[in-house]
Amino acid sequence: MKVAVIGGGPGGYVAALKAAMLGADVTLVEKRRVGGTCLNVGCIPTKSLLASSDVLEAVREAKDYGINIQGDIEADFSLIMKRKDKIVDQLVKGIEFLFDKKGVKLVNGFGSLLNNNKIEVSKEDGSKEIIEADKIILATGSVPIVPPIFPYDGVKIITSDEALFLKEVPKSMIIVGGGVIGCEFGQFFSKIGTKVTIVEMAEQLLPLEDKDVAKQLERSFKKDKIKMMTGQKINKCELNNDKVIAYLEGDKTLEADIMLVSVGRKPYLDNLGLDQVAVNLEKGKVVVNQKMETNIEGIYAIGDIVDTPFLAHVASKEGIVAAENALGKDKKVSYRAVPRCIYTAPEVAAVGITEKEAEAKGMVYHVGKFDFRGLGKAQAIGHFQGFIKVLADNDDKIIGASIVGPHATDLLAELSLAVELGLTAEQVGDVIHPHPTLSEGIMEALHDVHKACIHSV
């Protein structure tokens, strides 16, 4: 069985490896480097930058822990960027190593469908290669959205792609959009000395999360001296004397050295040849079923080009399922418990439905909540801002959870498992949790669902 994958991001490369492990003859087509947006210009490099700013913050706060550090403390931006590049390069080489060991053939170039069994690859040197396959998996990912009111030039008005390759720290920055990308970049640049203003149309940062979650992050951003303008809309933007000028509603104006537009992403389907094969599209996305099959037999689609959450871990799961089904299995993707993670300080993580979604649906639910401040481990490490919140339905099943605080993204796994398996607050709350740990807060929040939390009033 020959399988071809177009796109080497976290969906495509995982699909290729899985198909190879199942015995297929696999070819992956990627126009740049394997790893896609996530590894090259997304998840991994941004976490590397945030790790550097976290260390900077820890050094600045060392005196609070009884550690005296002499001399000036400053960030070396060029070394931060070099460290980021080194980490990305190592991980890219790691994927290529796996390809070599598991027998995945990598073809560099732009892949386009000729029919449901042939792909034409256009290479940088102008040559073309035809790849034939029994099954094809489309995984071309997404690109940043830049509304036409922003005169995007990739230099003064940029997206997250360019932000990861800046040569120097901008003195000031306007960030358009207070979602995940805007918040992560905003905090990083603020901590290394940039004057940051975030403009968000919604009434809060992280518009998809609950208000109490956003308030915790906004409190931290205020401490970081990040200016937040929520419920605000930019009507016009222009470049003037090497400055970016933004005109907001109510005759307000903002000026900065650089503007980062982070208002979302869109599927990348340009010149993929979908019309050549008559693959169904709806609202600019490829239509698939739970098995990741398109309407064309033998063609699958995964990741950001389909109507599922734009998340690397979702794409990877879809890639595994697509590969398994391409090799004759009968698998489906469950989206019941999709984790949502924001790597700010404090971290934000959530799974399942939010309180506002439950209210909008008229659901009967119960809330359990516990503050990190009440945990001995949180006090010991000096990071105790935030809380753990659990939602249970009328049958006590855990249907959602939000964590804002230290290591929130790591702590979420237990609650994601609970949501996926339909476990109850009583079942998970009865499990002995280790002490002293931050995970105890989950147990306490689960107890609070039944108003039986011992360490709260």
CB 187 within 8 A of CB 222: no
* Residue 181 known to bind ligand: yes
Ligand-binding annotation for 141, yes or no, is: yes
> At 146, is the secondary structure helix, strand, or coil?
coil
**429 carries a ligand binding annotation:** no
405 is in an annotated binding site: no
Residue 420 assigned ligand-binding role: no
108 has which bridge partners?
30
183 annotated to a ligand binding site: yes
Q: Is residue 43 a contact partner of residue 36, using CB atoms and an 8 Å limit?
A: no
Rounded to 10°, the helix 440-449/408-421 angle is 50
Query: Is 275 a known ligand-binding residue?
Result: no
Residues classed as catalytic: 435
Residue 222, number of CB atoms within 10 A of its CB:
11
Give yes or no for a contact between 95 and 33, defined as CB atoms under 8 angstroms apart.
no
Is 47 annotated to bind a ligand? Reply is yes
DSSP letters along 3-39, please? EEEE--STTHHHHHHHHHHTT-EEEEEESS-TTHHHH
List, in order, residues 6 or more apart from 143 with CB less than 8 Å away.
Answer: 265, 266, 268
Is 264 labeled as ligand-binding?
A: yes
Please give the structure tokens belonging to residue 184: 């992560």
Of 220, 209, 206, the closest CA to residue 346 belongs to 220
CA–CA gap between residue 262 and residue 221 (Å, rounded): 17
- Paired with 176 in beta bridges are 199, 261
> Would the annotation count 154 as a binding residue?
no
Question: Has 140 been labeled as part of a binding site?
Answer: yes
Q: Which string of DSSP letters, residue by residue, matches 94-126?
A: HHHHHHHHHTEEEEESEEEEEETTEEEEE-TTS
Q: 250 to each of 231, 232, 233, how far by Cα in Å?
A: 12, 9, 9
Query: Is residue 209 marked as binding?
Result: no
Task: Provide the 3-class DSSP secondary structure of residue 195.
Answer: strand
Binding positions for NAD(+): 177-184, 200, 264
Binding positions for FAD: 47, 111, 140-142, 304
Binding positions: 47, 111, 140-142, 177-184, 200, 264, 304
